[in-house]
Amino acid sequence: MMEATDTKTKLLDVAERLFAEKGIHAISLRNIISEAEVNLAAIHYHFGSKEALLREVFSRRIKPVNEERLRRLDELLAVSGNAKTDLAALVRAFLEPVVRIRFESPNRTLIIMKLVHQLQADSGDLREVFYDLVEGVISRFMDAFGEALPHLSTGELFWRFKFMLGVLHMIMAQPPICKPGFDFDSVELDLENVTNKVVPFLVAGFEAPATEARNMDNGI
Amino acid sequence: MMEATDTKTKLLDVAERLFAEKGIHAISLRNIISEAEVNLAAIHYHFGSKEALLREVFSRRIKPVNEERLRRLDELLAVSGNAKTDLAALVRAFLEPVVRIRFESPNRTLIIMKLVHQLQADSGDLREVFYDLVEGVISRFMDAFGEALPHLSTGELFWRFKFMLGVLHMIMAQPPICKPGFDFDSVELDLENVTNKVVPFLVAGFEAPATEARNMDNGI
DNA sequence: GTTTGATTCAAACAGTCGTTTGATTTATTT
DNA sequence: AAATAAATCAAACGACTGTTTGAATCAAAC
């Protein structure tokens, strides 16, 4: 039966590269098949539609990352037992699996960030692809952070967690945040270095005293 | 001579709304002219091209914000004189003019964030629009932060400033960061409230001791 | 060796895109 | 009122989009 998965993965690879290079909307099926040197109909034969190809391109890269995050969270919780989980370790478990690929695989980074950005740039159905992939991770880590930071109200915790997502976003974002040549992004680049910079920053932020203690209403 | 600027601003308004609602790439010129109830050629007559329309849509909203940020920075520097500028005030001067529109004008927020996202989702020429608008602001604030935080190396400062950009990004990002219904974004919504949450978080992060002490400057 | 199913192929489908044209209407100036 | 410039209009341009079709090619099973 099936044997020529060659064409299928060749399409995934080429599509991934082109999406990362030029942006998703800038790439047509004909761009892909011409670089992959296959027939136009092959995409619909193997995937069914352009959107289905998109889904596979993205989930192929994002799934394993989040699996690793959950695995590390489980490890942490198992070690800490009933004691309070170490906040810095929690932050690292959430960030490192993602940040690592920033320095190990620029291609994978690009394709993931393209999805994140496109996800909010459009109002398309790409959202579901992403939601399905990160929903479980977010909610499980939120719980863990809540227990590690009992001095924070739920609302405060939500915001600070959100802030962390933004910080992570900036680490993953590609160099040209600012004008090319403006050496804002040409700074140190390795996992350990960046981790050592971001973890203290975030831990300090998380542990900062809560501003409000205004009423008994829990604030959510 | 010119009098019927009516059509021109009507095009800007409709384009802005549609871009914000559906995403830039999802909107065609024909979508715009049909809602604006003008002729198709009007866009090329008044703007020259679709891209030129885009530029005007965005710069109309972003320019005044950054002008206010610079104005507030000047005020701060004038007040502090030779003394060290207050870090929290610096953070607020950078954030508040942006965060305010998040709560005052959802439309303006959406269109700005669409640009930010599209900017990185594509590899298009939209980048220049944004670069030109934020370049001066970033570099002037970077200098001010550097003087307010002399214990940080340049690299450390770069990163922490970047982290702040990410945090701001998350404040501005529209609700559905997570799956709709997952009440992650339905938290408190007013300028003062959010400012009171984000400023302590960031100040704590900025003031956290630097990890590295590898060169002659021995950190703290 | 023929049959069967999976894969590839060239060609066309109907639609939409941004842009241009040239005539027509509207407003301002002389 | 005539002349001039600004603005709007319907209609078409060529190029490109994702998708479909039906025949050609290939591999393995009988």
For B150-198, the pLDDT digits (tens) are 999 888 898 999 999 999 999 998 665 555 555 555 555 789 989 999 9
For B83-100, the pLDDT digits (tens) are 889 999 999 999 999 999
Shortest CB distance from A21 goes to which of B123, B159, B208? B123
Q: Is B101 on the interface with A (CB under 8 A)?
A: no
CA-based angle A111:A117:A121, to the nearest 5? 135
Query: Has this prediction a pTM greater than 0.75?
Result: yes
- DSSP for A62-95 reads HHHHHHHHHHHHHHHHHHHTTSPPPHHHHHHHHH
Distance (Å) from the alpha carbon of B1 to chain A's nearest alpha carbon: 39
How far: B3 CA to C30 C1' (Å)? 20
Per-residue pLDDT tens digits of chain A, which is 220 residues long: 343 458 999 999 999 999 988 989 999 999 999 999 999 999 999 999 999 999 999 989 988 999 999 999 999 999 988 888 999 999 999 999 999 999 998 888 888 888 888 877 777 667 777 787 788 899 999 999 999 999 998 888 989 999 999 999 999 986 655 555 555 555 557 899 899 999 999 999 999 998 754 443 443 3
Nucleic acid strand D: bases within 7 A of protein CB:
5-12, 16-22, 27-28
Average pLDDT over residues B34-56: 95
Cβ-contact A46, A32 below 8 angstroms: no
List, as own/partner pairs, every contact residues B73-79 make where C-beta atoms lie below 8 angstroms and the sequence separation is at least 24, other chains included.
Answer: B73/B140, B73/B141, B73/B144, B76/B144, B77/B144
Nucleic acid strand C: bases within 7 A of protein CB:
5-12, 16-22, 27-29
Q: Which sign does the torsion angle of CA A15, A19, A21, A26 carry? A: positive
What pLDDT was estimated at residue A183? Answer: 55
Mapped onto helix, strand or coil, the DSSP state of residue B179 is: coil
Q: What is the torsion angle, in degrees rounded to the nearest 10, for the CA atoms of residue B167, residue B156, residue A201 and residue A136? A: 60
What pLDDT was estimated at residue A53? Answer: 96
Q: What's the gap between Cα A184 and its chain centre?
A: 22
How far: A30 CA to D16 C1' (Å)? 10
What pLDDT was estimated at residue B1? Answer: 37
Tokens of A173: 């974002």
What pLDDT was estimated at residue B216? Answer: 37
What pLDDT was estimated at residue B218? Answer: 36
Are A178 and B135 within 8 A, CB to CB?
yes
CA-based angle B107:B111:B115, to the nearest 5? 165
Categorize the per-residue pLDDT at B215 as very low, low, confident or very high, splitting at 50, 70 and 90.
very low
Q: Is B172 on the interface with A (CB under 8 A)?
A: no
How far: A41 CA to D22 C1' (Å)? 13
